[in-house]
């Protein structure tokens, strides 16, 4: 029998325990589903998707952290909330149509009936819908910026480059 180093043995034992604990905990977890989150998911969306919306990470103009950093007055908060809610409601059908167009392209790719012409038609349709929504988001962002004081606009300008910095992996 070959002798192994005590360091190697310690490493192997520690690794086995570290890798085995999560698997054992998962095996011991109850079979009942987890309770629903407090977020109300829109119809057809999984709850984690709704949670991302509430955290402000789903393509919105300003995320929640930036809004807090701007220190908006109560009147500004109400005006911004109304602006974002009306924008969300006004473009709900367009977002649904975009989702359906993307699903159509995905279905075309997965089906046996793929043709480059049909794929190009669908991709042009998707691009047009995305451009429409992007312009609406830019207009809404401009209306939001108009609500801010010059000092808040300066803070917003400082916050954006940090938020849009590339993620290091």
Spatial contact of 133 and 99, defined as CB atoms under 8 Å apart: no
Residue 36: partners with Cβ closer than 8 Å, 6 or more residues away: 47
Q: 3-state DSSP call for residue 2?
A: coil
With left for phi above 0 and alpha for psi between -120 and 50, is residue 56 left, alpha or beta? left
Q: What φ, ψ does residue 158 adopt, rounded to 5°?
A: -70, -35
List domains and CATH numbers for the chain: 62-162 (1.20.120.1490)
Neighbours of 2 (CB within 10 A): 3
pLDDT tens digits for 20-37?
656 665 555 555 555 544
Q: Scanning the structure block, which residue is given the tokens 């300066």?
A: 154
The per-residue pLDDT for 69 is 83
Output the pTM of the full model: 0.56
CA distance 77 to 113: 50
The per-residue pLDDT for 78 is 93
Strand ranges inside the chain, DSSP E:
none
11-25, 66-80, 131-145 — most confident range: 131-145
């Amino acid at each position: 029998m070959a002798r192994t180093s005590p360091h190697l043995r310690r490493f192997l034992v520690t690794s086995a325990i570290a890798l085995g604990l999560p698997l054992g905990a998962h095996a011991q977890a109850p079979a009942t589903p987890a309770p629903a989150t407090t977020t109300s998911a829109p119809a057809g969306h999984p709850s984690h998707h709704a949670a991302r919306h509430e955290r402000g990470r789903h393509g919105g103009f300003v995320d929640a952290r930036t809004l807090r950093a701007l220190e908006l007055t109560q009147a500004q908060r109400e005006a911004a909330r109304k602006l974002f809610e009306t924008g969300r409601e006004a473009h709900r059908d367009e977002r649904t149509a975009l989702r359906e167009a993307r699903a159509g392209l995905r279905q075309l790719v997965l089906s046996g009936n793929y043709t480059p012409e049909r794929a190009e038609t669908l991709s042009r349709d998707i691009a047009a819908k995305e451009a429409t929504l992007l312009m609406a988001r830019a207009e809404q962002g401009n209306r939001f910026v108009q609500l801010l004081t010059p000092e808040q606009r300066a803070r917003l300008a400082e916050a954006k480059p940090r938020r849009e910095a590339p993620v290091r992996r």
